[in-house]
Amino acid sequence: MVTKILTSFVFIIAPLCYSPGPANVTLAGLGGTYSFKKTLPFILGLWFSTISGLLICLYGATDFIMKHEKIMAYLPIFGALYLFYMAYKSLRSVKKVKVNTEEENSKGPSFLEGVIFQALNPKFLVFTISVYSPFLNEGKLFLTLFSAVLFFGGASAHLLWFFMGNRLAHILGGKKAQFFFSFLLVAVGLWMISTTF
């Protein structure tokens, strides 16, 4: 069982978790815009939504969603609209002061925004369903351990992308980094919409 979980992590979970998707790019952008302390509620919201999604799939929603593919068709559009909102919010926070200083008084993204974002993230939903599908007959113990590995893989990827964005912001300078990451959010949003047609 452990070998199967580790093999799945190396060949399936890690490449998908660490690749640039909506959540990772958004966190890189937030890392370039806000301090970790101000982004933490958003990250916790992402993780709450991730755990909720994993539990829902663990207890049978995968079959329901696979039978109702029309639901999945609209999620990328809503997710893209939310990415556009995040890009707009990031651009509005562009300031002349240096990024991530304690004097920065702009409010970071909220816990609820993190929950909503991950719930509308089509990569997370498709990824979770496709990763669970081959293992549905393995039993609850295996799926529970698999879910834990899946969550910690995703959580570590989120933190990695946040801190990479933070470092890049210091290299590029705050304002340039915010424009760059806002552009990335819009680009990922446009890509998400293009995948629905």
pLDDT in tens, 46-75: 999 988 888 877 776 656 666 666 766 676
pTM greater than the 0.75 cutoff: no
Is position 17 within any domain?
no
Domain count, the chain: 1
Q: Which residues of 76-105 are buried (b: 16+ CB within 10 A; e: fewer)?
A: bbebbebbbebbebbbebbbeeebbeeebe
Length of the chain equals: 197
Distance CA 83, CA 2 (A): 37
Tokens 């992308």 sit on residue: 161
Is position 163 within any domain?
yes
Distance CA 15, CA 49 (A): 21
Is position 29 within any domain?
yes
pLDDT tens track for 91-149: 776 654 454 444 345 788 899 999 988 888 877 776 776 666 666 667 778 778 878 88
Is position 159 within any domain?
yes
Nearest CA to 131 among 1, 24, 2, 14? Answer: 14
Range of the domain at 135: 2-9+24-194
Six-digit token pair at 102? 């304690």
| Angle, alpha carbons 10-47-111 (nearest 5°) | 155
* Residue type (1 letter), 173: G
